[in-house]
């Protein structure tokens, strides 16, 4: 898996209510959720996002209530991957279940700024910051998790396994 895009950086302890406020939980339509992604952080935030862009976050991203709508909103906004210092555990599992790639890189996240261009090679465990000419190494995602992501998340993966 390979990703290339511009960075939209957010801070520490961004909770699921900032990602997708409760008032928008009346739908599970990914496109609709994407239109209001990060609305709890900053109204209109998603208008800066282009398909393929990459969210970069600080510590404990996705904390708060467990809602599958949060990773769906990020995907619906066109961002297929979030790179962070760390993730709240339940969000981490929900992200993969919904088909959102999450990469935890610890303190190395400080080497990425808003607007940087990243080139992410998942199989190699490498993030190249094109803007800064730097490289960040991360623990590659296990192959079974990559299959889950490539299958569109847990539900789609299971459907395909059952029909095979």
Question: pLDDT of 60-82, one tens digit each?
Answer: 999 998 889 999 999 999 999 99
Q: What are phi and psi of 3, to 5 degrees?
A: -135, 145
Question: Rounded mean pLDDT of 141-156?
Answer: 83
Question: pLDDT of 134-148, one tens digit each?
Answer: 999 998 888 888 888
Q: What is the pLDDT of residue 59?
A: 98
Banded model confidence at residue 110, pLDDT cuts 50, 70, 90: very high
Higher pLDDT, 66 or 92: 92
CATH number of 2-163: 3.20.19.10
What is the average pLDDT value for the chain, to the nearest integer?
94
Rounded CA-CA distance 18/6 in Å is 21
Q: What are phi and psi of 75, to 5 degrees?
A: -60, -40
């Amino acid at each position: 898996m390979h990703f290339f895009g511009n960075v939209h950086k957010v801070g520490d302890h961004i909770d699921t209510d900032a990602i997708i406020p409760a008032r928008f939980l009346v739908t599970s339509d990914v496109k609709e959720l994407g239109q209001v992604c990060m609305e709890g952080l900053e109204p209109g935030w998603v208008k800066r996002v282009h398909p393929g862009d990459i969210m970069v976050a600080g510590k404990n991203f996705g904390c708060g209530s467990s809602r599958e709508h949060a990773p769906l909103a990020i995907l619906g906004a066109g961002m297929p991957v979030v790179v962070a210092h760390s993730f709240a555990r339940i969000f981490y599992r929900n992200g993969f279940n919904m088909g959102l790639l999450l990469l935890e890189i610890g303190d190395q996240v400080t080497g990425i700024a808003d607007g940087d261009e990243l080139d992410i090679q998942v199989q190699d465990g490498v993030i190249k910051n094109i803007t800064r000419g730097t490289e960040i190494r991360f623990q590659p995602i296990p192959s079974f998790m990559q299959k889950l992501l490539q299958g569109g998340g847990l539900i789609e993966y299971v459907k395909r396994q059952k029909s095979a």
